[in-house]
Copies of this chain bind each other. A is one copy, B any other.
Amino acid sequence: MRVTLEEIAKKAGVARMTVSRALSGKSYISKETEKKIKKIADEMGYQPNLIARSLSIRKSMTIGIFMPKTKNIFLDVYITQILSGITDIVQEFDYRIMFFPYPENGRKKGLYTSIANSKLIDGMVLLKTKMDDPDLESLASSGFPFVCVNYRKKDDKYNFVDSKNKEGARLAVEHLVSLGHKRIGFVAGSPKETNAVDRFAGYKQVMSKYKLETKPEWIIDGDFSKEKAYENTEKLFSGKSMPTAIVSSDDYMAIGVMEKLKEHGLSVPGDISIVGFDDIELASYIHPQLTTVRQPIYEIGKSSAEMLLNLINKTKNVPHTKYLDVELIVRGSTSSPAKHK
């Protein structure tokens, strides 16, 4: 049988409570008994039952991470980098991590609040939140601590960490414009994610600033999927005119686009320049290396964890909004447009 406080108490000839106090060290205890008890606990190999403790103190010391479970789930570098950041922070404060991947479609209704009420976790981080998520509003109203990652909503009930997506897209387009491009296409991410919407907005903003046309036939629906981007790029070849450059809402889709272009015998950047978003590891391994907007993904993970822990422990008036900087990384996939066009 496992050793409990009770058994240590017996052996030490004291009350259970005294043992608890001696071991937690959060209360006045004579040095003597403390030492004695600690020694006995050590000898017996005592390890507190953390479930029992959680029940008693009404805290699980655990945070939950929620994310849609796509074909890729963890394979997606974006998510794994965020996890890495979250983990690093959370462990510092002795919190544990529980994972809640949910089916992308047909998720159990009220998942967030039901897990929140289960007392399994003290707070949650939401990854890849969709704007039409049916459970988000009730979570926000419930007051349960949570942070959305790369999501944005002007509402005091919402807490989030996002990067400057709009600015990122602007940097990308400005870069292309400065190279002399005028016909610039765009690969859109999921229309249900605020960061995709923001990037699109940034693109349109700069285009209109320079009075450049944004033809619908140059807008590719990619939904943050390399495969979709690859397929839908086909449509460029049935249109009347081709763009000389394309901004993609993420690197994976940019790669999908490049594959399709290559298949049609076009060269990057010779025929078409491409800019990605994220700066995933792959970006510098493909040929040509991808010019992209770097998001500090790992930092986003860290920030979201910090925010969540502050929310949980209400240390002070926690800012519940944070935007991180992005940066344009120029590599080989962009150049001035071909003269002959």
Interface residues of chain A, those whose CB is within 8 Å of chain B, are: 2, 45, 47-52, 54-55, 60, 62, 69, 72-75, 77, 80-81, 83-84, 87, 91, 96-101, 113-114, 117-120, 255, 281-282, 285-287
Q: Are A98 and B62 in contact (CB under 8 A)?
A: yes
Given contacts A55-B52, A60-B51, A97-B99, contact A75 B281 (CB under 8 A): yes
The docked-state distance in angstroms from the alpha carbon of A2 to that of B142 is: 12
Residue of B52, B87, B281 touching A73 (CB-CB under 8 A): B87
Residue of B50, B55, B87 touching A69 (CB-CB under 8 A): B87
The docked-state distance in angstroms from the alpha carbon of A55 to that of B83 is: 29
A139 to B: closest C-beta gap in Å: 13
Contacts of A286 in B (CB 8 A): 285
Q: Are B91 and A50 in contact (CB under 8 A)?
A: no
A88 to B: closest C-beta gap in Å: 8
A89 to B: closest C-beta gap in Å: 12
Given contacts A51-B55, A55-B52, A282-B281, contact A96 B120 (CB under 8 A): yes
Q: Are A74 and B69 in contact (CB under 8 A)?
A: no
The docked-state distance in angstroms from the alpha carbon of A69 to that of B80 is: 13
Residue of B84, B96, B118, B282 touching A98 (CB-CB under 8 A): B96
Which 7 pairs show the lowest CB-CB distances between chains A and B? A47-B117, A74-B80, A50-B118, A97-B99, A74-B84, A51-B119, A74-B83
